[in-house]
Amino acid sequence: MEAQELVTQAANTLDLKSLGAAFAIGAGALGPGIGIGLLAAKAMEAMGRNPEAAPKIQTAMILAAAFAEAIAIYALVVALIIKFI
């Protein structure tokens, strides 16, 4: 049937490459997002309890956030490799 042919054609021309790239970065940004949120929440709590130690806590927080963000960057690089190479 005409409709069935169209559906088969649509399924065969699915752009799986772009889908893979989108899924890679989408799922890969989930973990680091939650991780950095938890980090910042704990850091703010600590700063609220002890405002004098705020600069030290801030430096340590930025360092730890960079580590967590690096994982998201790995996911981004995989997505870029899928899309462009």
Partner 1 sequence: MHISIAAEKLSTVLGLPITNSLIMSWMAMAVLIIVAFALKRTMAVVPGRFQAFVEVVFESLLNLVDSITQDRRKTEKFLPLVLTIFLFVITANWLSLLPGVGSIGIREEEILVPIFRPANTDLNNTLALAIIAVVAAHFFGLRSLGIKKHVGKFINLRGPIDFFVGLLEAIGEVSRILSFSFRLFGNMFAGEVLLLVLASLIPFFVPIPFLGFELFVGFIQALVFAMLTLVFLTIATSEHH
Residues in contact with partner 1 by CB under 8 A are 56, 59, 62-63, 66, 69-70, 73-74, 76-77, 80-81, 84-85
DSSP state of 35: H
CA angle 66, 34, 38 (to 5 degrees): 75
CB-wise, 23 or 64, nearer to partner 1?
Answer: 64
CB-wise, 6 or 73, nearer to partner 1?
Answer: 73
Q: Please give the Cα distance from 14 to 16 (Å, whole number).
A: 6
**Least distance between partner 1 and beta carbon 38 (Å):** 19
CB-wise, 10 or 63, nearer to partner 1?
Answer: 63
DSSP state of 13: T
